[in-house]
Structure 1
Amino acid sequence: MNRDVFVTPTRAALAAGAVLATIATTPVTAGAAGGGTTPAAATAAPVAAPAPTAARKPAFRVATERGSGLVGRTAVYAGRVAHATQGQRVRLELRSGGRWRVADRDAVGARGRFRVTTKIARVGDRAARLRIVGRASVSPGAVERVRRVHGFRRAFASYYGPGLYGGALACGGRLTPGTIGVAHKSLPCGTKLTLRLGGRQVAARVVDRGPYVGGREFDLTAATKARLGFGTTGNILVDR
């Protein structure tokens, strides 16, 4: 009668079996060179940390502005700053003498709103811009170029043209029904100026000499008169 024989495994055999079991259950991947295999964990790409969210810079939303008017009136720039930060201010800066100079400033209020003004001090125009400023911890502010501060004055004018077409102009050329320009006694020929009347505005040049009737400073050509909606005589606004 046969008896079952039980053999007690040695410690070395048990250790060898554990190593084989570990190798059998570990996923393998193809080696980069020589076709070998390496554990998957050793070749897995590291997980990239999420990129930090970039801070949003403040930006202008200029809602209303009144940059031009008679000398002595007020130019107004208003709107709001998107992504405003507590402690920020808006500065109105005007170009003068080759430099930007601060004309007014306002603290950014509720919902980023601001309003800055400046007196129109002289005839002609000046470049203007808005700048956001704040504490050192605030992200760099934005700059927005806005409508130029443009000063006008009143001048008494008349017009001329019919019956004179084809005649020579003092500044060169001949007068035609389509000539845009003005006559003036002393402004240099070719001087650029802006004329306004009501809601209309015309850019013109000095093309002739005159008028020679007392109390009148400018003579408008017929084409300039038509564009302005001007009558026979009266006041216009001019920036020279």
Structure 2
Amino acid sequence: MLVRASIAIAVAGPGSLGTALASAATTASSGGTAAPAASGNSHLKVTVTPRQHVLRGDDDPVHGSVRPGRRGRSVLIQVRRDGDGWQTVAHATTGADGRFRASWTTHSLGNYAVRAKVGSTGPSGKAEHGVIVYKASQASWYGPGFYGNRTACGETLRPSTLGVAHKTLPCGTKVALYYHGHAVTVPVIDRGPYAAGREYDLTAETKHRLHFGSTGTVWSAPHAH
């Protein structure tokens, strides 16, 4: 099951550039709750709901609303990757009830922030929601028979050790993993796997937290967190 989270952004309307912005509220519901508006009736309440875990090359659907509802408001969907500047990736127009829908296509792995902004100018809320873009990777797991041994990265392997083995990623590299609704970020602690076609060996604890089987496909994003 895909996990969704909502962010609420208070956006200053026309003629209110000098008014302080409302604090943005982050929720973990699929419906979304708007942040309290700052003083003055000219402020709009905007909610936006992206999908948190996305496979590279897929479209990430984004929906939300602008209150008070009015047909024809222009909404910009913007993303920012790993501290870069905001980039507009989609446009939407509100319906009579203030709701809008859009999508953007993910091309690069990593962490993104997603927001919706009403109009092309003027201040926007500071609420940001994280989205991770992954690739599909073949994985297996290991542990029994190796506990107590030192890994290639100098760590003692135990049943409680969180991490993955990878052939080339530097030791300590953080790797975000996602499998059927379960997500975890772990470091590279060892070398392997050496079976053809497999990219990662998961430790027993990593396997447990992902509810992973013996072998299969996981979504992975090196350097993400």
| Corresponding residue SS for 2:168 | coil
| Corresponding residue SS for 1:201 | strand
Partner of 1:207: 189
User: Structure 1 154/86 Cα, relative in aligned 2: closer, same or farther at 3 Å?
Assistant: closer
Q: 1:161-200 to 2 correspondence within 5 Å?
A: 161-200=143-182
CA distance in 2 between partners of 1:222 and 1:68 (Å): 23
1:117 and 2:103 are equivalent in the alignment? yes
Q: Which one is further off, 176-185 or 189-198? A: 189-198
1:77 and 2:59 are equivalent in the alignment? no
CA distance in 2 between partners of 1:233 and 1:87 (Å): 50
| Corresponding residue SS for 1:210 | coil
Q: Give the letter aligned to residue 78 of structure 2.
A: E
Q: TM-score, length-normalised on structure 2?
A: 0.74
Q: Is the 8 A contact 1:58 1:84 kept in 2?
A: no
1:100 and 2:86 are equivalent in the alignment? yes
Unaligned runs of at least 5 residues, structure 1: 1-52
Aligned-pair CA distance for 1:161: 0.5
Ranked by relative contact order (alpha carbons within 8 Å, sequence separation 6 or more), the top structure is 2
Percentage of identical aligned residues = 39
Per-residue CA deviation, residues 70-104 of structure 1 (Å, 9 max, x unaligned), is: 11111122111112566531111112583211111
Partner of 1:221: 203
| Corresponding residue SS for 2:145 | coil
- Superposition RMSD on alpha carbons, in Å? 2.2
Which one has a larger percent helix, Structure 1 or Structure 2?
A: 1
Q: Give the letter aligned to residue 221 of structure 2.
A: D
State the number of aligned residues.
Answer: 183
| Corresponding residue SS for 2:50 | strand
CA distance in 2 between partners of 1:183 and 1:232 (Å): 15
- Of the two, which has the highest radius of gyration? 1
Aligned-pair CA distance for 1:144: 5.6
CA distance in 2 between partners of 1:145 and 1:76 (Å): 19
Q: 1:85-164 to 2 correspondence within 5 Å?
A: 88-96=73-81, 98-133=84-119, 142-143=124-125, 145-164=127-146
Q: Give the letter aligned to residue 88 of structure 1.
A: R
Partner of 2:220: 238
CA distance in 1 between partners of 2:146 and 2:192 (Å): 14
Q: Give the letter aligned to residue 234 of structure 1.
A: G
Per-residue CA deviation, residues 160-182 of structure 1 (Å, 9 max, x unaligned), is: 10111110011122001100000
Unaligned runs of at least 5 residues, structure 2: 1-38
Q: Give the letter aligned to residue 186 of structure 2.
A: A
Q: TM-score, length-normalised on structure 1?
A: 0.69
CA distance in 2 between partners of 1:147 and 1:108 (Å): 21
CA distance in 2 between partners of 1:237 and 1:192 (Å): 14
Aligned-pair CA distance for 1:141: 5.6
| Corresponding residue SS for 1:223 | helix
User: Structure 1 196/152 Cα, relative in aligned 2: closer, same or farther at 3 Å?
Assistant: same
| Corresponding residue SS for 2:206 | helix
4+ aligned runs moved over 4 Å, structure 1: 84-87
